[in-house]
Amino acid sequence: MLSGKKGEAVALAMRILVKLGELYGAKEMQPISKAHIDGCCYQTAGDAGLDFAEKLASLGAKVVVPTTTNVTGRDIKRWREFKMPEWLAEKCQRMEEAYTSMGAIPTWTCAPYLSAFIPRFGEQIVWAESNAIVYVNSVIGARTHRYGDFVDACAAITGRAPRFGLHLSENRQGEVLVQMEDFGEELIDDTSIYGLLGYKLGIILGSKIPVIEGIPEQVTQDCLKALSAAGAASGSMALFHIIGVTPEALSLEQIFKKNIPEYKIVIKPSDLMKVRDELDSSDEEEVDLIALGCPHFSYSEFYSVLKVLNGRRISKKIEFFIFTNRDIYRALYHTGLLSDLIHAGIRIATDTCILHWPLSAWGFKVMATNSGKFTKYAPGLLGLKIKFGNIKQCVEGAITGRIRKI
């Protein structure tokens, strides 16, 4: 590959991977079986990222493993409805076409683990997109390091990655014990609690691997999704273990082996309420935007929204955006839930994320969300103040125009 015998695109990609391996002290390359490309959003990669993608495409690059795509910068079918400038939509389209021409699967989702291309336990892969990295490492037990843009595409084109970091068993052991105390049934399905937990752990642990004790075995996939996203956004989390829940932590003895934790942290409900108070950047209760779906909403989360709505419609003074992938959108359509959501006044976007949108045409000031990741990035990227709440609070806020803490 380095010699150019497999083409200039492969040689370029392999040079980048070799350099990465040298920087991290990797001794060898290893085959991978899947890839997820994060750098396919024009607004994050910019003109340099577009040049990179179009350069690879012009050289005839083709992916050699099943490769999914992260969010693009627009809702491909409805970008005009969301007031996106035409020049920006055109740039996004060029980026999309570059990667699909290489054979990437147009999933356009930040939660590829909700699609049909889920890796198996122990499978060596290269995934970029921070929440997906945490989720696939932790909940599924496949193995990827915390990769960034461009490297993901190089791995997809070569089918190789340096063997280092979280690809290796010895680097996946727990480091810090986190004990959950005084919680009740809310730990089973309240995704906002896990957003707050992930946010706190990301700040205090950085990239250290937490082993969490005290979470019920019935905890939902959506809660683990929220934990993954918030932990990766507030810190540099790439892997967590939950005793009795995640596959590499059936017991404390299994995950720590003969080692002892570096230290222990106790988390109580009052600790997470302090985090919630810190995340609220608006002193007012009034909001003008509700935004859910970071990471992309699952089918069960849509069902939860409809359950809270109970046939009611949202206020005409409020915009309510929910972001999801095409598979979930299609399921909503075929089961009739999509029409109920639209009738209630909710706008559903696929393929994309509001964090990449210019919002000046909307005039929003205060956004309510249950997402720790949205809460982390929206003030800086979108210039919005934040009200943080659970799904019930956000839906009630969409009806009344006010978010009240419980």
| 72-101 pLDDT per residue, tens | 999 999 999 999 999 999 999 999 999 999
Instruction: Report pLDDT for 162.
Output: 98
Mean pLDDT along residues 107-119: 93
The number of beta carbons lying within 10 Å of the beta carbon of residue 188 is 15
* pLDDT category of residue 54 using cuts at 50, 70 and 90: very high
Cα angle vertex 350, ends 104, 98, to 5°?
A: 30
The pLDDT of residue 334: 98
Reported confidence tier of residue 115, pLDDT bands at 50, 70, 90 = confident
Cα–Cα distance measured from residue 140 to residue 120, given in angstroms and rounded to the nearest whole number? 7
Helices (H), 313-388: 326-335, 337-343, 372-382
Residue 343 has pLDDT above 60, yes or no: yes
Distance CA 80, CA 246 (A): 42
CA distance linking residue 186 with residue 190, whole number of Å: 5
As given in the structure block, the two tokens for residue 356 are 């990449």
Q: Which of 113-122, 223-232, 254-263, 349-358 has the weakest average pLDDT?
A: 254-263
Burial of residue 203, with CB atoms counted within 10 A of its CB: 0-12 exposed, 13-18 middle, 19 or more buried: middle
Place 283 in a pLDDT band, splitting at 50, 70 and 90: confident
β-strand 67-69 against 29-31: which pairing, if any?
unpaired
Q: Is the pTM of this model over 0.85?
A: yes
266-276 average pLDDT score: 96
Q: How does residue 405 score in pLDDT terms, banded at 50, 70 and 90?
A: low
- Mean pLDDT of the residues in the chain: 96
Which of 93-122 are b and which e, b meaning 16 or more Cβ less than 10 Å from the residue's Cβ? bebbebbebbebbbbbbbbbbbbeeebeee
The beta-strand segments (E) located in 209-359 are: 210-213, 241-242, 263-267, 289-297, 319-324, 346-350
As a whole number, mean pLDDT of residues 294-305 equals 98
Phi, psi of 68 (to 5 degrees): -95, 165
What is the reported pLDDT for 19? 97
